[in-house]
Chain A
Amino acid sequence: MKDRISQLMDGELDERAAGEAIAACGRGGEAGEAWHTYHLIGDAMRETCVLSAGFSARVAERLAAEPTVLAPRRVRPESRTWLALSAAASFAAVALVGWLALTPQPLNIPAQMAQVEAARPQEAPAIVPPPSATNDYLLAHQGFSPRVSFQGMTPYVRSVSQQGRERGK
């Protein structure tokens, strides 16, 4: 019956079959429950806010009943197709989203952490006045700079005044 309700919701039934399905829903029971559930799923997929009180409990129940899929499983023929295909797809999507959100993914995590590690910027350094020996360091460094071969001695003018640098020594 459930697949008839699903087909009804997807507009796939002719007038006579649709009439029968609607009548079945009206009687409650399995058809009525299916009608209710499928609409809730549809609402959830479209992010419609109003959900029935029992909805989340039922989804949680079914999620708990789901096997934890670690690898793609070979599809076996089901003895009983109790969900219509379109609704099944919707439900699988909800389940998958839930599963992705709730289940840690051990395979990806080290890679992600490595990326975060590499991308993490260095801690910004404290800004301090130039050391008291700055001019000596500059003089010692300058002679090795290849820029001297383009600029001659001009880069040697870089220096700090006595006031500008750290006291002491």
Chain B
Amino acid sequence: MLGRVLGLSALLCAGLAQAQSPDALDWLRRIQDATQKLSYSGTFVYQNGNRSETSRITRYVDASGDIEKLEVMDGVPREIVRTRDTVRCYLPDSRVVKVERQIESRGSERGFPALLPERINALARHYDIALGETQRVAGYECRTVTLTPKDDLRYGHMLYADAKTGMLLKAVTFDPHGGLVEQFSFTELSIGNVSRDKVKPRHKAQAWRWEDSDAAPASLTWTLTSELPGFRKIAELKRRIGEGGPVGQMVYSDGLAAVSVFVEPLEGRREPVRTGMASVGAIHIYTKEVAKHMVTVVGEAPAASVQRIANSVEFRPQ
């Protein structure tokens, strides 16, 4: 009996050690480094449910910073170009350019989320992080890193990173029951040798309509009566959505997943608010009305988590 108890605790200790494996955390750091430092171009497939969509991605890095270009090849054409602090989304069919200027969020560097080393360590609070076996993706030998959530408030992830460079070749998202939610997977990738003209937008778009988000940090009169365990507020801002009026946005994150709460006045809105849940891959969107405002919660988290956040949104006049 004593032997069995000792055996069990040894097993538990092994599990804990594995969950906080420095090797696995190291690999997360390597993936993030590669994502920030490498130039590459490749084709990847995004899958959710029955839907799959092919896109091209090109990244150019030099001393002045980096530029990344994403072109969606299937369906409605879309091109998104990200520079150091701005994202521009070109929609040739409607001749519109949407401009998102990145603003500071807690824990970010240069506006875009770049996890600092201590934040990677902090992920182990909500996820068991372990190194898996080696697998081949798009001709690259990849190490796998699994992030298994410790509760059912967040999704799990399996990351496949090139064993040599750390470049992420494939990312699979699982629901709390182990079901596949969505998957990004490169079918072809070449690392290095990218020239600057490869990341130029295809469209001049001078005569197009430009919609700027006008995002600026703000202190909103909205709050959550109870935050979702592990999620803390990382940004609070005022902005525009499309051509509409000012919208408040609060962003909560557990270090890996993020959930945004958008709040906009109902005044001037023609249609009534349609309360309910919608989903796009790993993103759930819950809409409801609170204090004559439309509240839209958008997050890469299970439906119940998004709904819980939506149900605790409260107007807090000052």
Contact surface of A with B, Cβ cutoff 8 Å? 122, 125-131, 133-134, 136-141, 143-162, 166, 168-169
| Contact for A133 among B87, B242, B303, CB less than 8 A | B242
B303 contacts A125, CB within 8 Å?
Answer: yes
| Contact for A166 among B100, B262, B274, CB less than 8 A | B274
A131-B285, A139-B89, A145-B113 as given contacts; A150 in contact with B171, CB under 8 Å: yes
A140-B241, A160-B280 as given contacts; A149 in contact with B296, CB under 8 Å: no
Question: Main secondary structure on chain A at its contact with chain B?
Answer: loop
CB of B287 within 8 A of chain A? yes
Closest 6 pairs (CB-CB, A-B):
A128-B276, A126-B276, A125-B277, A130-B278, A141-B260, A145-B258
B87 to chain A, nearest CB (A): 6
Q: How many cross-chain pairs have Cβ atoms below 8 Å apart between A and B?
A: 168
CB of B175 within 8 A of chain A? no
Question: Main secondary structure on chain B at its contact with chain A?
Answer: strand
A136-B98, A162-B76 as given contacts; A149 in contact with B262, CB under 8 Å: no
Contacts of B128 in A (CB 8 A): none
CA A122 – CA B55 in complex, angstroms? 38
CA A131 – CA B82 in complex, angstroms? 25
Contacts of B285 in A (CB 8 A): 130-131, 134, 137
A159 contacts B280, CB within 8 Å?
Answer: yes
| 6 contacts across the A-B interface (CB closer than 8 A) | A145-B253, A147-B113, A150-B159, A151-B171, A153-B70, A154-B184
| Residue among B35, B72, B308, B311 facing the most chain A CB atoms (10 A cut-off) | B35
B296 contacts A131, CB within 8 Å?
Answer: yes
CB of B220 within 8 A of chain A? no
B271 to chain A, nearest CB (A): 5
B31 contacts A150, CB within 8 Å?
Answer: yes
CB of B208 within 8 A of chain A? no
CA A51 – CA B260 in complex, angstroms? 67
Contact surface of B with A, Cβ cutoff 8 Å? 28, 31-32, 35-36, 44, 46, 48, 53, 55, 57, 59, 68, 70, 72, 75-76, 78, 80, 82, 87, 89, 98, 100, 102, 105, 107, 111-115, 119, 159, 168, 171, 184, 213, 215, 234-235, 239, 241-242, 244, 249, 251, 253, 255-258, 260, 262, 270-271, 274-283, 285-287, 296, 298-300, 303-304, 307-308, 311
Nearest neighbor of A160 in chain B, beta-carbon distance: B280
B57 contacts A134, CB within 8 Å?
Answer: no
A141-B260, A151-B171 as given contacts; A146 in contact with B307, CB under 8 Å: no
